[in-house]
Amino acid sequence: MSETQKIILEIRAGAGGNEAGLFAFELWRMYRRFCERLNFKIEIIDSSGNQVEGIKNLTAQIIGSEVYDLLKYEAGVHRVQRIPKTEKSGRIHTSTVSVAVLKTVSEVEVKIEPKDLRIDTFRSSGAGGQNVNKVETAIRITHLPTGFVVACQSQRSQSQNREVAMNILRAKLAEMQKEKITGETSAERRAQIGMAERAEKMRTYNFPQDRITDHRIGKSWHNMEKILDGNMEPMIKVLAKEQKKTK
């Protein structure tokens, strides 16, 4: 019987300026369409940017059957190579986007001391940056020992936003603990999202050659437009199969 899972998906534009932000939006659109087809519940918790200018970062909560098992392979640095629409000379630009996929955990699994938190409130903003709320209902929580910062502005009340933000923080701390145990100690992997440099990547999207390459398994797929439209099953199946081999 399939298990209903809840995840936190984080997407952050890295190296490459506007082009990175535009590709971050395209990745979000791919994940959203994939999840919509499976009737998963999707909620944007925090975001900055838009479809036209690209997104700097986006945090969403997704609930659905086996959602973590399906999307866990997306965590890491995604590299895009293409000619930007604004590029007159036809030069190919390289940009990066970081993705984190965090499984939510209960209060029992991860205990957080109130003294370790700094909590700030701000007004939630909508499209275009206008203040939707005259009351400071949005919450930003800083975990002082690790420096993790989480925010939520999707809920109607401050207490609801705080609850969601704490869930994200617990997920981040659990992920960090898990990676300590498995011995993955590099700074980028500890937080899953760090500075996305061009050199480190797990997948490359090459637009001129219409090819997606996953460097972890050395496999490529064509018909990129279809995959970016949410048809991710071919990639997920192969990655799941490869993971079983390495167990």
Domain boundaries, the chain: 4-107+188-233, 114-182
Residue 79 corresponds to which tokens in the numbers above?
């590299």
- Rounded distance between C-alpha atoms, residue 109 and residue 173, angstroms: 10
Q: Quick check: do 4-107+188-233 and 114-182 share a fold?
A: no
How much is the pTM?
0.79
pLDDT of 243 higher than 70: yes
The confidence score (pLDDT) of residue 34 equals 97
| pLDDT digits 0-9 by tens, 12-32 | 999 888 899 999 999 999 999
The confidence score (pLDDT) of residue 108 equals 63
Q: Report the CATH number of the 114-182 domain.
A: 3.30.160.20
The confidence score (pLDDT) of residue 154 equals 84
As assigned by CATH, the class of the 4-107+188-233 domain is alpha beta
Which position has the higher pLDDT, 140 or 178? 140
The confidence score (pLDDT) of residue 133 equals 52
| pLDDT digits 0-9 by tens, 37-88 | 999 999 999 888 877 778 999 999 999 999 999 999 999 999 999 988 777 7
| pLDDT digits 0-9 by tens, 103-129 | 887 766 788 899 999 999 888 765 444
Which position has the higher pLDDT, 7 or 51? 7
The confidence score (pLDDT) of residue 178 equals 79
